[in-house]
Amino acid sequence: MMIERAAAARDAGLDSLFVGDHHLTPVPYYQNVPMLGRLLAEWGDAPAGALFLIPMWNPVLIAEQVGTLASIATGPFIVQCAIGRGPEEFAGIGANIKHRPSLFEEGLSIVRRLLAGETVSSDGRYHIEGASISPLPPEPVDIWIGGSVEPSIDRASRLGEAWLAGPELTMEQARHLARFHRERSEAHGRPPAAYPIRRDVYVGESDEEAEPTAGPVAGRYRGFDPDALIYGSIDTVAGRFRELAELGYTDVIMRSIVQAQPKTLASLTRLGEVRAAVADAWPTD
pLDDT at 25 over 60: yes
Q: Tell me the mean pLDDT in the region 93-110.
A: 95
Q: Where are the domains of the chain?
A: 2-199+249-262
Q: How far apart are CA 153 and CA 149, in angstroms?
A: 6
Residue range 29-79, pLDDT digits in tens: 999 999 999 999 999 999 999 999 999 999 999 999 999 999 999 999 999
Section 176-186 average pLDDT: 97
**CATH class as words, domain 2-199+249-262:** alpha beta
* pLDDT higher than threshold 90 for residue 109: yes
Residues whose CB falls within 8 Å of the CB of residue 73, separated by 6 or more in sequence, listed in order: 40, 43, 48
The interaxial angle of helices 100-115 and 59-72, nearest 10 deg, is 40
Residue 56 near residue 23, CB atoms below 8 Å: yes
Give the model confidence (pLDDT) of 251-260 as tens digits: 999 999 999 9
Is residue 284 scored above 70 in pLDDT?
Answer: no
The pLDDT assigned to 168 comes to 95
Q: Tell me the average pLDDT across 206-229.
A: 90
Percent of the chain with pLDDT over 70: 99
Strands 127-131 and 120-123: antiparallel
pLDDT digits (tens, 9 = 90+) for 121-137: 999 999 999 999 999 99
Residue 126: its pLDDT value, please? 95
